[in-house]
Amino acid sequence: MIVVMENGAREEAISKVVEKLEENGFLIHLSKGVERTIIGAVGDKSRLADLSIEAMLSVDRVINILAPYKLASREFKSENTIIKLGDVTIGGEEIQIMAGPCAIESREQALEIADIVKRSGAKIMRGGAFKPRTSPYAFQGLGEEGLKILREAGEAYGLKIITEVMEPGNVEMVAHYSDILQIGARNMQNFPLLKEVARFDKPILIKRGLSATIEEWIMAAEYVLNGGNDKVMLCERGIRTFETYTRNTLDLSAVVAAKQLTHLPVIVDPSHGTGKWKLVGPMALAAVTAGADGLIVEVHPRPSEALCDGSQSLTEENFNKLLIQIKKIANAVDREAVQ
Ligand code: PEP
Ligand code: MN
């Protein structure tokens, strides 16, 4: 349920509504927009009728949000959420490119890729240290050593970094090194993990689960928002369908839907979304056209030697070619990309 206050409602009137709702067991989330304040109240709806909130001073209206997600909804917050990370903004006019290897393999590899990413104009480097591999025999990532290397590479080249955290017990450690925490597709409904990352003052990127509906994906974001962290972004990375030619089916309609239903930035991962490097560029362009706020792309100087996901990784040359096209598409949809 949300309470929409009148334009220019005074602090005192807002506090009175908040107090009344809190006294009656509602959990409150305030959204102070440019024009009006919206009070999100999560709790027992049946008690609401007796409270006469609508009759209180400066209350414009009370709206029952029908969707199961409340804080993530456009009703709760009509303006786009813009996440600020130093001088980098996600969800604003600029389309953010996050690029790097699937996995951090060595210090040399990470520094070489950080150099490629920096020279491309992108501002965020990706790289996995804890890898959720289907096979227990596959390379599992370098763990904390990988995080140290990624941090060093980010600092050496002035790039923000994003990496996956797989378990609640590791969040503190990963947050110590990384600017953004990534929740992997396989962990989208790991609720203890979602609750734990919500405790940290770091942006969280939530990848859509392999067979998650759009609503389930947004509910994962709701967990983090409800836990007190409002720096949440969604990431479409392809879903399971009957198709086997591609690794996953990149659902670009989900990007449009998520932008309409929520105020959160939406990022697209065309690498895992297709599994084939030749498809990555065109799908990245389609994603920007569909309204994505950013892309997360796997880049490797020698994809054939990559320890993980080489077949979907772009070479430096192909990555830079793609960025030239992304700039053109960004202009066409009134956005900006890599200067
Ligand atoms: C990744 O980005 O490294 C990754 C494992 O992605 P996903 O969780 O989408 O499979
Ligand atoms: Mn990968």
For atom 4 of ligand 1, the residue with the nearest CA is 184
For atom 6 of ligand 1, the residue with the nearest CA is 184
Q: Assess contact for 145 and 126: CB atoms under 8 A.
A: no
Given a cut of 80, is residue 235 above it in pLDDT?
Answer: yes
**How many whole angstroms separate alpha carbon 277 and alpha carbon 274?**
8
- Residue 184, ligand 1, Cβ within 6 A: yes
For atom 9 of ligand 1, the residue with the nearest CA is 185
Ligand that comes closest to the CA of residue 164: 1
Q: pLDDT-based confidence at 35, cuts 50/70/90? A: confident
In the prediction, which pLDDT does 66 show? 86
- What's the CA dihedral at 167, 173, 178, 184 to 10 degrees? 0
In the prediction, which pLDDT does 18 show? 96
Ligand 1 atom with minimal separation from the 102 CA:
3
Ligand that comes closest to the CA of residue 269: 1
**How many whole angstroms separate alpha carbon 229 and alpha carbon 221?**
10
Q: Assess contact for 79 and 35: CB atoms under 8 A.
A: no
Q: pLDDT tens digits for 48-70?
A: 888 999 999 999 999 988 899 99
Ligand that comes closest to the CA of residue 312: 2
Dist. CA 31 → ligand 1 center (Å): 32
Given a cut of 80, is residue 339 above it in pLDDT?
Answer: no
Given a cut of 90, is residue 258 above it in pLDDT?
Answer: yes
Cβ-proximal residues to 186 (8 Å cutoff; 6+ apart), any chain: 132, 209, 210
Task: State what percent of residues in the chain have pLDDT above 90.
Answer: 93
Given a cut of 80, is residue 220 above it in pLDDT?
Answer: yes
Neighbours of 64 (CB within 10 A): 9
- What's the CA dihedral at 226, 210, 128, 280 to 10 degrees? -120
**How many whole angstroms separate alpha carbon 58 and alpha carbon 214?**
35
Neighbours of 152 (CB within 10 A): 16
- Residue 295, ligand 1, Cβ within 6 A: no
- Residue 306, ligand 1, Cβ within 6 A: no
Q: pLDDT-based confidence at 46, cuts 50/70/90? A: confident
Q: pLDDT tens digits for 142-177?
A: 999 999 999 999 999 999 999 999 999 999 999 999
- Residue 185, ligand 1, Cβ within 6 A: yes
- Output the 3-class SS for the chain: CEEEECCCCCHHHHHHHHHHHHHCCCEEEEEECCCCEEEEEECCHHHHHHHCHHHCCCEEEEECCCCCCCCCECCCCCCCCCEEECCEEECCCEEEEEEECCECCCHHHHHHHHHHHHHHCCCEEECECCCCCCCCCCCCCCCHHHHHHHHHHHHHHCCEEEEECCCHHHHHHHHHHCCEEEECHHHCCCHHHHHHHCCCCCCEEEECCCCCCHHHHHHHHHHHHHCCCCCEEEEECCECCCCCCCCCECCHHHHHHHHHHECCCEEECHHHHHCCHHHHHHHHHHHHHCCCCEEEEEECCCHHHCCCCHHHCECHHHHHHHHHHHHHHHHHCCCEECC
Q: Which of 339, 321, 299 is nearest to 113 (CA)?
A: 299
Q: Assess contact for 307 and 271: CB atoms under 8 A.
A: no
Q: Does the model's pTM come out above 0.85?
A: yes
Mean pLDDT, residues 266-293 = 98
- Residue 141, ligand 1, Cβ within 6 A: no
Residue among 269, 295, 296, 312 whose CB has most ligand 1 atoms within 8 A, to mutate: 269
Task: State what percent of residues in the chain have pLDDT above 70.
Answer: 100
In the prediction, which pLDDT does 65 show? 87
In the prediction, which pLDDT does 32 show? 87
